[in-house]
A and B are shown apart, each in its own frame.
Chain A
């Protein structure tokens, strides 16, 4: 497999997404909303409850909020992947692409990178802002800088990329069965459910400590590997030309 060929396809797709306002707005709004909104909420909570026992409830709350970067990493690429594959299907540009001297794997990797790279840039940029703002608003209440810590490293550098890959691969599988971008995004909505359950678990007091996060990461790796096999089978030249609707 030639990475340069895959990157060429990814760069082309990213160039097209840059003209889609909806995708750009999502890439900016979601990480910005999480990184500014949750610190603002923490300020409000501290204002309501005072900072006397902040050490007992704030860390769990901050970790749970941080999990939104994992949810965001799964949400953002579904729209991009839907445009990248279903959009090409609608414009019927997949057949000319398949007629070029590119392998199925190169095209698939190009599509994955086109959704993965912008997502992770947005998530990482948002998480830096989030950590800075959280430290700024909690330092006096906690008496120390909460971030950076192992939890956020695991969240944004391990779980978030895995969540993004999980969402992209799921979108590719869904793309074979839908005929418009909106349907592709709607079906992909199912993938957030397990992540939302994990977030709620964090909110109601279940401790998302590094050990738990590592276990979640292991489950994600298994799911990503399984979905990769399915998406690889789905994104097959002959399958696309003869079976995709």
Chain B
């Protein structure tokens, strides 16, 4: 759905996005993480053909970026939710969606059906004729999300969809995004919410002008510190720890009554841990898996990138 190669954007002497290459598959939810000013919004704007690129190339939703004849076709195939909802406050939710549907040249009957389906999905059908100015922030964000979907785009760019929302409103919006994921929509999600990225995204990329890393949230988390299996025993002894080291050839630490075993493949290695502990005379009370959070991984990756630059 998206294939970008060395996408670069410069504003005068400032490089906002530096040689970003990435691929997003059909039906994938791709999270774009990065600190403020990292170039996330600029990347989205380039991919949505809202601003030009300085160099590099990209194909988005079957359209070549920068090719004038493809620009309108591209914008009719994608939906962009900017960071600021940008609704017409004096008009109703229905009128907002109707206007954008008509700008996208959606046929009248289809447009009516789409608006009703989307407003019902967002739980706003009963409020369809009320001016948007009377809506809460969360409701406005849902109207904006519906506006992004009104022409049934094949690719969605969502820029910080839950930023500045209270937890309840953020959850409402997140639930809608999860619904869209179930529908197998391709979503490019810019977010600061690492918990959100972990729950929603199939893969994430971390940007700091350059794309620092890319992978599944689990791969990033485990890539940071590996996966650790924690075994709580009646009494953790050095002999049991040594037996594990000899059998699995992995680092083992003793922490009180717990053994912390670094593993690469928990599904394969955990049964072996049990066998080795029991064979060494240990009595297992509890086993659990310990891994770094995506936030830990993100902070480490960004700090390492800062240090190296």
Contacts and interface: CB of A to CB of B under 8 A. Distances in A.
A53 B100 CA distance: 62
Interface string B49-61: 0111000000000
Contacts of A5: 103
A18 to B, nearest CB: 10
Interface residues of B, number: 29
Chain A interface extent, by class: 20 to 34
Contacts of B11: 242
B82 interface: yes
B45 A92 contact: no
B72 A103 contact: yes
B51 A95 contact: no
Contact of A91 (B51, B72, B79, B89): B89
Nearest to B73: A101
B87 interface: yes
A238 B52 contact: yes
Contacts of A16: 88, 90-91
B75 A101 contact: yes
B216 interface: no
Interface string A89-114: 00111111111111100000000000
A238 B73 CA distance: 18
Nearest to A100: B103
Interface string B92-121: 000000011011110000000000000000
Contacts, number: 67
A237 interface: yes
A101 B80 CA distance: 12
Contact of B87 (A9, A93, A102, A241): A93
A23 to B, nearest CB: 12
Given A8-B102, A19-B90, A96 B80 contact: yes
Interface in A195-245: 237-238, 241-242
**Closest 4 A/B residue pairs (Cβ):** A92-B84, A93-B86, A99-B80, A101-B76
Interface of B: 11, 45, 48, 50-52, 72-73, 75-76, 79-80, 82, 84-91, 99-100, 102-105, 144, 147
Given A96-B82, A101-B104, 20 more contacts: A9-B103, A12-B99, A16-B91, A19-B90, A91-B86, A91-B89, A92-B82, A93-B87, A93-B88, A95-B50, A95-B80, A95-B82, A96-B80, A96-B144, A100-B75, A100-B100, A100-B103, A101-B72, A102-B72, A238-B52
